[in-house]
Amino acid sequence: MRAVIFSAILVSVFAGCARFRSSTLKPEKVFSLQIGDDKAHFPRQSGVYHEIPGRVGVLKEWVAFSEPSDKTIKLYRSGKLVFSVRGQDAGKVKNDTKSLEAVRVPGRIVMGSNDDFFVENYIPPEGESKDPSTRGGYKILQFDFKGKLLRSIGRKGLSELVFENILWFDADSKGYLWVLYRYLDELHLDRYEGNRLAYEFRQTDCEAMTLDKKQLEMLKDRNSIVHCEYIYPFYSGERIMLSSRIDRIDPDSEKKQLTLAYRIVKVKNLGDTTAETVFARLSNAEDHPYLPQGKDSVGIWQNLEGNRVRIARYSLSGDLRNSIVIEQTGRPSEWRQIWQTLSGDVYGIRIFADQFEIHQFR
């Protein structure tokens, strides 16, 4: 009888282990270009390259990146230049570079799913108005792979409005653009279908779904507050992930200093009025809720020692499914950015031996 029970326990343990996987992703170079005037051009000071874009677009053999200091956008295919466009006020334009008035100061780039890509485009104050008191902002430019500007997307789908502060943006599996930004110090997540604002979710919506009125009153009695930290869509575009902080207010502090108590992570289908809880008390301050992983998982980003990071993937019921460790080779200073796309791929930008390199972690 004991043998039967012991065997049953072993089967249960091995079954649980089978559901959990651990893997290590290492960089594999997918694109490289010499840094120079006629290749990838970035300013250099005291031996260090500056104004490296925060993110580039990668889709199979296609790579799109910006040169902010030159106000230039470039698209490569299999290592060969397909086209480049440059702002009209950027000075002399080479014969193989198009001049485009809409391009001001390009930044991060993400790939779409319809042979297109999206470019974060900063517009200085004088670009929108001659009044120097008017603040500038951002719009998102959409190009096809032939170099045609498809549209310039403004906040709420209105051409006259700019985004004040874009925190994150990417395209879902249908090619729709999602933008996470702050406006008047409030978090917003919008989905755009072409120029049209098709869906929006605000910080107040997030906080209202985090706790009910009774729970909010209890927080006030404990000198605590709730505020929404992140709102991200799933790659399918059919649901979103909400992450809120519960902070304690130090009553003895003159500046009312806040200390993290815990985080609450929830998932909501777009058509639902309620959200399902994934983590009710995520108390480790080093655990940062990250992008949704696949169709039915959420990620927790954790910084590790030795130039490594880990993305722990959890099911929507809170069970650990996969632990992915991302290892960076070489010196830490060579790596400028590491990011994960909404589709789940992990990329990094490395500056090494005067080469502008794009790596995919596999």
CB 67 within 8 A of CB 74: yes
Task: Read off the pLDDT of residues 179-217 as tens digits, 9 standing for 90 and up.
Answer: 999 999 999 999 999 999 999 999 999 999 999 888 888
Q: In the prediction, which pLDDT does 91 show?
A: 56
Nearest residue to 60 via CA among 169, 145, 179: 145
d(CA 199, CA 156): 10
User: Tokens for 106?
Assistant: 């390009």
Q: In the prediction, which pLDDT does 261 show?
A: 93
Query: How, if at all, do strands 80-87 and 98-100 pair?
Result: parallel
List CB contacts of 130: < 8 A, sequence separation 6 or more.
Answer: none
For residue 13, pLDDT beyond 90:
no
pLDDT above 90 as % of the chain: 73
Task: Read off the pLDDT of residues 279-336 as tens digits, 9 standing for 90 and up.
Answer: 999 999 888 888 999 889 999 999 888 889 999 999 999 999 999 999 999 999 999 9
d(CA 125, CA 355): 34
Task: Read off the pLDDT of residues 108-127 as tens digits, 9 standing for 90 and up.
Answer: 999 999 999 999 999 998 64
Give the type of residue at 189: L
List CB contacts of 213: < 8 A, sequence separation 6 or more.
Answer: none
**pTM of the model as a whole:** 0.89
What confidence tier does 129 reach under pLDDT thresholds 50, 70, 90?
A: low
Torsion of CA 108, 31, 79, 356, to 10 degrees: 70
Burial 194-230 (b: 16+ CB within 10 A, else e): eeebeeebbbebbbebbbeeeeeeebeeeebbbebbb
For residue 8, pLDDT beyond 60:
no
